[in-house]
Amino acid sequence: MKIDRIKFWKEDLELTRPYTIAYDTIDSVENLFVILETETGITGIGAGSPAPGVTGETMAKSMDALSAIEDILKDRDIRKAPALLRILQRTMKGAPAAMAAADIALHDLLGKSIGLPLADILGRAHDALPTSITIGIMPLEETLEEAGEYIDRGFSILKIKTGLDPDEDIERILKVRERFGKDIRIRVDANQGYSVEAFTRVFEQTRECVEFSEQPLKDGQIADMQGLSLPMREMSAADESLHTPKDVPGLLQEPRPFGIFNIKLMKCGGIGPGLDIARMADVSGIDLMWGCMDESVVSIAGALHAALASPATRYLDLDGSLDLARDVATGGFILENGWLRTNAQPGLGVMINS
């Protein structure tokens, strides 16, 4: 079953709700898309969202990297997907979102060629898991208003962006807990915004409210993370410090700087490398979180299938498509009261909009 046609392009996608994090304000995103079609007419789709501030990959670099995939994939048998993915990983270094788009398309095509949802082919470990939904950095009253909207929509896990002002962060976290009670779980993401002193203060004053914190210190401050107390490290998730499987051994050095790994397909290069990280974390006793950028349902579905096939998955933060004003595809997952599960369609279960 050979790949006969390859197409890729980029799309500008506006957000219905702009938001602010510790180092940027986002109101629109660029996503890239890859379509692979076999000689028998089976189509696989992948998507990527370059994150230059995190990985250094620009859209121009992504598109340049994708220009090489036709020579690699044309007339190749989809049943040799693992070998093809290995070639792509060697060829597309430095462009993880482009690599992820090609990887996701291959996995979608493989699932459709077999006729099963991808998670079932990989080996499903979970039927469904709850996802958090993100609240950007904003004034207290706006934080409470947005939190109430999400709770009314059925979400029970809020991820609050922090990292600009520790005092305001503490107030927002405590007020959300006070307003909405203990049934609502709170996670925070400082996006590398804290000093050791600031993180210590925020942690000590909010530890009874917060499930865990994402990347409190800068990527290069691993030694500082290792110097924190055991509870602070266990309740911290590696995000910007974890890109590819090659980063994992350093994050397992004792004392371990993080108790949770946040896998993002746009950092690591797709489902294949993501599952490599997941296996390494699993055997090392590290809990997994699967996160995202602002992404199409296509790549969110790819991350969800991988997450549900990983026994160590404990947390989801796969809300990246929910605030897109439009998308090129539909389907991919079913969202009910904040819980995500795959649909019954083969592959990723996504459909390209006409």
Residue 84: half-sphere exposure toward Cβ, Cα within 13 Å: 25
Q: What gap in Å lies between CA 36 and CA 191, rounded to an integer? A: 35
- Is residue 26 pLDDT above 80, yes or no? no
Q: How far is 286 from 263, CA to CA, in rounded Å?
A: 12
Residue 22: per-residue pLDDT = 65
CA angle 191-136-141, nearest 5°? 135
Q: What are 33's strand-pairing partners?
A: 9, 47
What secondary structure letter does DSSP report for 315? Answer: E
Q: Give yes or no for residue 191 having a pLDDT over 70.
A: yes
Query: CATH assignment of 3-115, given 3.40.50.10860, 3.30.390.10, 3.40.50.620, 1.10.20.10?
Result: 3.30.390.10
Residue 23 confidence (pLDDT) above 70: no
User: Taking the model in full, what pTM does it have?
Assistant: 0.96
What's residue 338's pLDDT?
98
Per-residue pLDDT band at 20 (split at 50, 70, 90): confident
Q: What are phi and psi of 165, to 5 degrees?
A: -140, 105
Write the DSSP string, 144-201: HHHHHHHHHTT--EEEEE--S-HHHHHHHHHHHHHHH-TTSEEEEE-TT---HHHHHH
Average of per-residue pLDDT across 280-303? 98
Q: What is the DSSP letter of 80?
A: G
**What is the C-alpha separation between 304 and 317, in angstroms, rounded?**
10
Give pLDDT tens digits for 126-153.
999 999 999 999 999 999 999 999 999 9
- The fold for domain 120-352 equals TIM Barrel (3.20.20)
Backbone dihedral angles phi then psi of residue 207, each to the nearest 5 degrees: -60, -25
Quote the pLDDT of residue 71. Answer: 92
| Structure-block tokens of residue 290 | 């699967």
pLDDT score, position 178: 98
Predicted local confidence at residue 28, as pLDDT: 77
DSSP β-bridge partners for residue 20: 25
Euclidean distance between CA atoms 205 and 93, whole angstroms: 42
- Residue 347 has a pLDDT of 98
For residue 329, give every residue at least 6 positions away whose Cβ sits within 8 Å of its Cβ, in sequence order, or none: 45, 47, 296, 297, 298, 350, 351, 352, 353
Where do the domains of the chain lie? Answer: 3-115, 120-352
Taking only the tens place, the pLDDT of each residue in 71-122 is 999 999 999 999 999 999 999 999 999 999 999 999 999 999 999 999 999 9
Query: pLDDT value at position 21?
Result: 77
